[in-house]
Chain A
Amino acid sequence: MLKILKYGFFDLMRSRWSYIYFLFYLSLGFILLFLNQDVSKAVITLLNIILVLTPLIGTLFGVMYYYNSREFTELLLAQPIKRRNIFLGQYLGIALSLSLSLVLGLGIPFLAYGLFQSSEIFNFFTLILIGAMLTFIFVALAFGLALIFEDKIKGFGLAILTWLLFAVIYDGLFLILLLVFDDYPLDKFALFATVFNPIDLSRILILLKLDISALLGYTGAVFQNFFGTSLGKIFSITLLSFWIVIPVLFILYKSKRKDF
């Protein structure tokens, strides 16, 4: 599996898009820090970008990589290699290389601006960790969708739709529901609904960490109320891990039964 992982990783690392992604984060980090010298403010701005962008890039790369490497996958399938290792290796290869772009791209500018002297260091690390987890989640979702749909266009469309659902539509629907059912107690429902959106979960986790109640929003406030800050953090990070494990299990399940 490690060999497959290595090839997937270097394959993506060599591609132009990885560099663009890396350079984007690099320049984003420097620009943010240049515009407001305060590391803690930069972290908050970064939060919003990471929450939208890492899932999108993870989705796009996941789907693209799967469809582009189909030929190579077929070549591998005829070799004496376990099926699960082929798919797990490819998945980890992409997720790791994207995470590396994120960590290096943002790490370098923040280090250059004296992250280690700042008290924000743990917040920054939480943010990077969340970004990496979101990458792993959305690459897995995209990979799973690509495995289901033989048709590239369908797979691509649905993957983008998944991203759109979690990043935009979910919140919108949620707000509408809150407005419509204004008179009812919706705390439990809000809590329940948050669990099913990894992006929301990540947002809450970071805001709990940063301790900015003004930005928590409705779900965040309920969350904090219900669990308290530290339990809330543990709870949300556990849920995020489930969001990685379950799609990966699905990939393994699906790939075992698929014809090539």
Chain B
Amino acid sequence: MIVIKDLHKKFGKVKVLNGLNLSFEDKGIHTILGPNGSGKTTLIKSILGMVIPNQGSIEFNGKEILGEWEYRNEISYLPQIAYFPQNLKVKELLQMINDLRPGSKKEKELISLFQLESYLDKKLGNLSGGTAQKVNLVITFMFDSPLIILDEPTVGLDPVALIRLKQLIKEEKENGKTILITTHIMSLVEEISDDIVFILEGKIYFKGTIDLLKKQTEQSNLENAIANILEESYA
């Protein structure tokens, strides 16, 4: 589905992506892990065409994405931090997104899933972080796209919402979607992911199943395995 070859990206003098090669062919849930500043979000934004790489290529379903936009019809994206136009109401934002990108299916269902009915007439600027994240989730999941990219989906969510989000992700997986997730919550990773990708200093350090990672690092749980890689890299 996505083939990334030799991707380089510098911001000023900081090299964020440093010859990254990666491909996602299979359906299922792929988790992208890595320390802060390792280039996870830059990678995702490159896939979306928001960040323009200095070098390398990204192919989506066999087509180079640079300068293209139609392929984004096939992608739902949840940004890391829910920035919205502050003076709009939730209802107006949803209307606007629907107008700009027709074809949403599950809007009503998602609003009731995350209990947002009473917030529809509130301004986005007045929402709490968690509620804004729920709106963010509704916008992401209301489209029926084969690829779903979630950048830190759990930030600010309460336990109930978190359980529902996990349920939602699993449902989408059963519908045959490809899902990319970045997160720092290891329990979530262990619970839902089919395989993991570990990014370190702008390169892929590890790609495979959780069991394989545990075996390679000779650790019994994921958190320690990850910490083990990090400590080695710091040393």
Where the two chains meet, the residues of A that have a C-beta atom closer than 8 Å to any C-beta of B are: 3-4, 7, 11, 14-15, 69-72, 74-83, 256-260
Contact with A along B168-186 (1 / 0, CB 8 A): 0000000000000000000
- Name the segment of B23-31, B96-104, B157-165 touching the other chain: B96-104
Which residue of the partner chain A has the closest CB to B81?
A71
| A and B contact pairs by CB, cutoff 8 A, 14 listed | A3-B100, A7-B96, A69-B85, A74-B79, A75-B97, A78-B72, A80-B71, A80-B72, A80-B101, A81-B100, A256-B67, A259-B11, A259-B45, A259-B52
Contact with A along B59-96 (1 / 0, CB 8 A): 00000000101111101010100011111000000001
Nearest 9 Cβ contacts at the A-B interface: A71-B83, A80-B72, A80-B73, A78-B77, A259-B51, A260-B50, A72-B85, A82-B69, A77-B50
A260 close to B84 (CB less than 8 A)? no
The one of A4, A11, A80, A259 that contacts B69, using a Cβ cutoff of 8 Å: A80
Q: Knowing A7-B96, A71-B83, A75-B83 touch, does A81 contact B50 (C-beta < 8 A)?
A: no
Let me know if B7 is at the binding interface, CB within 8 A.
Answer: no
Where the two chains meet, the residues of B that have a C-beta atom closer than 8 Å to any C-beta of A are: 11, 45, 48-52, 67, 69-73, 75, 77, 79, 83-87, 96-97, 99-101
A75 close to B84 (CB less than 8 A)? yes
Instruction: Give the residues in chain A near B45, CB-CB below 8 Å.
Output: 259-260
Chain A proximity of B92: nearest CB distance (Å) = 10
Which residue of the partner chain A has the closest CB to B145?
A80
The one of B51, B69, B71, B83 that contacts A83, using a Cβ cutoff of 8 Å: B69
Chain A proximity of B95: nearest CB distance (Å) = 10
Which residue of the partner chain A has the closest CB to B149?
A78
Instruction: Give the residues in chain A near B51, CB-CB below 8 Å.
Output: 259-260
Number of A-B contacts (CB under 8 A): 60
Separation of A260 and B86 alpha carbons in the complex (Å): 19
B96 close to A79 (CB less than 8 A)? no
Chain A proximity of B2: nearest CB distance (Å) = 15
Instruction: Give the residues in chain B near A259, CB-CB below 8 Å.
Output: 11, 45, 50-52
B100 close to A78 (CB less than 8 A)? no
Separation of A72 and B72 alpha carbons in the complex (Å): 17
Separation of A78 and B85 alpha carbons in the complex (Å): 15
The one of B11, B72, B85 that contacts A79, using a Cβ cutoff of 8 Å: B72
Separation of A11 and B84 alpha carbons in the complex (Å): 14
B11 close to A74 (CB less than 8 A)? no
A77 close to B83 (CB less than 8 A)? no
Instruction: Give the residues in chain A near B83, CB-CB below 8 Å.
Output: 70-71, 74-75
Instruction: Give the residues in chain B near A71, CB-CB below 8 Å.
Output: 83-86
Instruction: Give the residues in chain A near B100, CB-CB below 8 Å.
Output: 3-4, 76, 79, 81
